[in-house]
Amino acid sequence: MGLFSSFREARRRRILERSPIDDELWAWAIKEHKILGRIREGSGPWPNDRARLRELATVFLAEKRFDPVDGVELDDELKVSVAAQACLPLLGLDLDWYSDWSTIIVTPREYDVRKRDVDEVGVVHEYDDEFSGEAFDLGPVALSRVDIEASGWGDGYNVVIHEMAHKLDGRDGAYDGCPPLHRDMDYGAWREAFREAYEGLRSSLERPRGKRGGASRARRGPRIDSYAAESPDEFFAVACEYFFERPATLRSEYPEVYRQLVLFFRRDPTDY
């Protein structure tokens, strides 16, 4: 598989030749982000991934537009941080997976959004919800600067990968926790793995827990962020965060989900 699989190849080649990410800035990104630093260079099953990531991030920066709001400051470090983390899931895919959107809105911090839901009996509920990021259908991605800076440390939290996962999920027009799968993959196996994990997580959160530390403590809490229990699409997005941030945790907690993600991303982050 070539680096880029589309007609945009020539233009992208030119971008790489004329405006690669500065050496010092790239070295900073690798050093500052634990999840990037562990990609080994020159050895392992994917010896060229660091160089490939830099190329993907370079083209990403040229093709996407950053739109700062509410006075947030955008420096080169922040842009490279977003680009590198956004492109990490694309190492085994390509940039065309992000071709249906172009703008990244950056807010200073989490922001409140007025939400409006209509319940099953037709009553409208309005409420404020706090967002650290958001992916709009066929539209921009919104990310908070504070949350971008909290991402990439290898602790399981990654707002950039989370929102990119929603974008991958929605490529087929449905935000349902299932992106368009490769031809050698099996939709039935994917849905079964994710359904079982999602339902298991939800029921584990519903069960009353034993007293903390006492002999009656029946079970430990979930090892991934319980936000994953919100919906199947949030489960997928959170699973992607763990896949790249804490792969061993996801693999031991949900081995079948992990296996499907290895097939989809065509990488196994525990092998780096």
Q: Which residues bind Zn ion (CB under 5 A)?
A: 234, 237
Instruction: Considering the complex, state which of residue 134 and residue 268 has its C-beta at the smaller distance from Zn ion.
Output: 134
Instruction: Considering the complex, state which of residue 237 and residue 239 has its C-beta at the smaller distance from Zn ion.
Output: 237
Minimum distance from residue 19 beta carbon to Zn ion (Å): 32
Beta carbons within 8 Å of 202's beta carbon, 6+ residues apart: 229
Instruction: Considering the complex, state which of residue 49 and residue 234 has its C-beta at the smaller distance from Zn ion.
Output: 234
Instruction: Considering the complex, state which of residue 54 and residue 162 has its C-beta at the smaller distance from Zn ion.
Output: 162
Minimum distance from residue 162 beta carbon to Zn ion (Å): 6
Instruction: Considering the complex, state which of residue 143 and residue 237 has its C-beta at the smaller distance from Zn ion.
Output: 237
Minimum distance from residue 165 beta carbon to Zn ion (Å): 8
Report the DSSP pairing between strands 103-107 and 65-68. Answer: parallel
Minimum distance from residue 239 beta carbon to Zn ion (Å): 11
Give the residue nearest to Zn ion (CB): 237
Instruction: Considering the complex, state which of residue 55 and residue 169 has its C-beta at the smaller distance from Zn ion.
Output: 169
Minimum distance from residue 115 beta carbon to Zn ion (Å): 13
Nearest CA to 234 out of 182, 165, 154 is that of 165
Minimum distance from residue 131 beta carbon to Zn ion (Å): 9
Beta bridge partners of 8: none
What are the Cα distances from residue 145, in Å, to 27, 52, 85, 91, 160?
Answer: 21, 25, 14, 24, 10
Minimum distance from residue 241 beta carbon to Zn ion (Å): 10
Instruction: Considering the complex, state which of residue 58 and residue 158 has its C-beta at the smaller distance from Zn ion.
Output: 158
